[in-house]
Amino acid sequence: MSGLSNRRILLVDDTKANIDILVQTLKQDYKLGVALNGPKAIEYTKANRLDLILLDILMPEMDGFEVCQRLKENPVTKTVPIIFITAIDDPQHKRKGLEIGAVDYITKPFDISEVRARVKTHLSLKITQEELSNRNLILEEKIRERTRELKETQVEIIKRLSLASKYRDNGTGQNVARISRMAELLGRSAGLKPAEAETLALSSMLHDAGKIGISDSILLKKGKLTSDEWHIMKGHTTIGSKLLSGSRSKLIQDAETIALTHHEKWNGSGYNLGLKGDEIPLISRIVGICDVFDALISDRPYKKAWPVSLAFQEIESKSGIDFDPRLVKLFLGLEPELVKIINETAM
């Protein structure tokens, strides 16, 4: 154990003779401070960093119990160990002191060897606790850094996978980013907590992951799909769900839910489960609106992009039919922010 000689101890006693004994006992080994009453002791702690306090109990104006309580209520001094020094050898007295935060008792008249031993023991314990605390802080920082790295890796994988599905759909990274940002914005407006909205922004990027499993002849067809082709196209929701299934990550679990159900409709006419109303998960209802809106304002092999104003009108016209009326109202109310996102993600 090293560093004991640099430790500062405050000696508090209203009897100068007692202070003199303690000073003579400890001055060669430690840095010392002295206070002859409670108020001066508290003032001393405001100007000095302490490692230990030897505190008399029976003092006029403010006794040791009150001093101890005040120091323990102060975040700066609450961890400083306090050893009570008293002439009263009473179990009840000792119990009260320990209950309010003291770590030990030394009984007057002083046994010099005992004082030295008790002081060394509690200072050594404090140093050990500090070292352990520092190690814990280092470990916590390493854990935080590792968590950041894992999250960044997860986000990168999600973005790359989402881009792969979008490129197959003749889309671009801008489409992915736009839907993600619109979904986060609408999610916050709908009452999602910030962390939930951030998760939605990422999980929504995988809403069309299942299109990886759809052939180019269907996915990039310029004309109208046949009923058989449409049936195959609708299967991208179940393909995406299977692709993302089995993960313990909340983010991937949400992505699985969105991939499977973002084409469900408020009136139950969507696919593939025929869910309606609140049966459709909220995150899927949010992404459903953003996905359709993005498709309307984007060029596709089978159509030209719609004007933004007409796309808003189309979303409004499908309120209560395809989309949750509450979410449609919120979406329309976000028009200025949505237009800003559109402009920032324009190809």
Is residue 274 domain-resident? yes
> Are residues 130 and 186 both part of a single domain?
no
Half-sphere exposure of 324 (CA within 13 A, CB side): 26
pLDDT over threshold 80, residue 149: no
Q: Tell me which of 32 and 153 has the higher pLDDT.
A: 32
Flag the least confident range among 86-95, 121-130, 273-282, 310-319: 86-95
Q: Nearest-CA neighbor of 180 among 335, 291, 306? A: 291
Is residue 152 domain-resident? no
The pLDDT value given to residue 146: 80
Q: How confident is the model at residue 3 (pLDDT cuts 50, 70, 90)?
A: low
Is residue 156 domain-resident? no
Predicted model pTM: 0.61
Q: Residue 296 is inside which H or E element, if any? A: helix 282-296
> Are residues 337 and 237 both part of a single domain?
yes
Q: CATH code at 222?
A: 1.10.3210.10
Q: Which residue type, as a one-letter code, is found at position 216?
A: D
CB 232 within 8 A of CB 251: no
The pLDDT value given to residue 1: 41
What domain count does the chain have? Answer: 2
Dihedrals φ, ψ of 295, to 5°? -65, -40
Q: Choose one of 94, 117, 139: the last residue of a domain.
A: 139
> Are residues 319 and 194 both part of a single domain?
yes
> Are residues 188 and 333 both part of a single domain?
yes
The pLDDT value given to residue 213: 87
CB 57 within 8 A of CB 64: yes
**How many Cβ atoms from other residues are within 10 Å of residue 187's Cβ?**
26
Is residue 162 domain-resident? no
Is residue 300 domain-resident? yes
Helix, coil or strand: residue 268: coil
The pLDDT value given to residue 68: 95
Q: CATH code at 68?
A: 3.40.50.2300
Is residue 116 domain-resident? yes
Cis peptide before 175 (omega within 30 of 0): no
Is residue 288 domain-resident? yes
| Predicted confidence (pLDDT) per residue in 31-68, tens digit | 999 999 999 999 999 999 999 999 999 998 899 999 99
Q: Nearest-CA neighbor of 80 among 22, 132, 128, 123? A: 123
Q: Nearest-CA neighbor of 118 among 130, 102, 106? A: 106
> Are residues 322 and 246 both part of a single domain?
yes
Q: What is the token pair recorded at 37?
A: 């009453």
> Are residues 96 and 182 both part of a single domain?
no
Average pLDDT over residues 126-150: 85
The pLDDT value given to residue 169: 58
| Predicted confidence (pLDDT) per residue in 155-175, tens digit | 777 776 776 666 555 554 568
CB 16 within 8 A of CB 35: no
Q: Choose one of 98, 124, 139: the last residue of a domain.
A: 139
> Are residues 127 and 177 both part of a single domain?
no
pLDDT over threshold 60, residue 347: no
The pLDDT value given to residue 30: 94
The pLDDT value given to residue 323: 98
> Are residues 130 and 271 both part of a single domain?
no
| Predicted confidence (pLDDT) per residue in 258-276, tens digit | 999 999 999 999 999 999 9
> Are residues 325 and 197 both part of a single domain?
yes
The parent domain of residue 95 ranges over 4-139
| Predicted confidence (pLDDT) per residue in 286-322, tens digit | 999 999 999 999 887 778 999 999 999 999 999 999 9
> Are residues 178 and 303 both part of a single domain?
yes
> Are residues 89 and 178 both part of a single domain?
no
| Predicted confidence (pLDDT) per residue in 227-241, tens digit | 999 999 999 999 999
> Are residues 126 and 189 both part of a single domain?
no
The pLDDT value given to residue 54: 97
When the pLDDT of each residue in the chain is averaged and rounded to a whole number, the result is: 90
The pLDDT value given to residue 168: 59
Of all residues in the chain, the percent with pLDDT exceeding 70 is 94
